[in-house]
Amino acid sequence: MRAQLVPVDGNEGLAGNLRIYISEPNGHLIGPYTSPFKHNIKSFDFVDSNEDQILEYGEEVTLHNFVVENLGKLSFDMFLND
């Protein structure tokens, strides 16, 4: 079963927040975390617009080949299973 968010018009409520807890196999809860993932960009390649390998002020670049790692406690796999 999946939860579904159904927006409803109404009065504005108090500001909210998100707390994520992770249940370990022994039942112990760890957290709270405010985000499920903590992404760290390890590396990437960039190509400047005239491909002279000199990045000049105002010049556009294209980023390629991102290598990203998740340093958070949740894995992407947890969200792929139904």
pLDDT band, residue 82 (cuts 50/70/90): very low
The answer to whether position 10 is within a domain reads no
The answer to whether position 32 is within a domain reads no
pLDDT band, residue 69 (cuts 50/70/90): confident
Domain tally for the chain?
1
Q: Looking at beta carbons, which pairs linking 30-39 to residues 24 or more positions away fall under 8 Å?
A: 30/73, 31/73, 33/72, 33/73, 33/74, 35/72, 36/72, 36/74, 36/79, 37/70, 37/72, 37/74, 37/76, 38/70, 38/71, 38/72, 39/68, 39/69, 39/70, 39/71, 39/72
Residue 45 C-alpha from the chain's centroid: 20
pTM here is 0.45
Q: Range of 60's domain?
A: 37-82
The answer to whether position 46 is within a domain reads yes
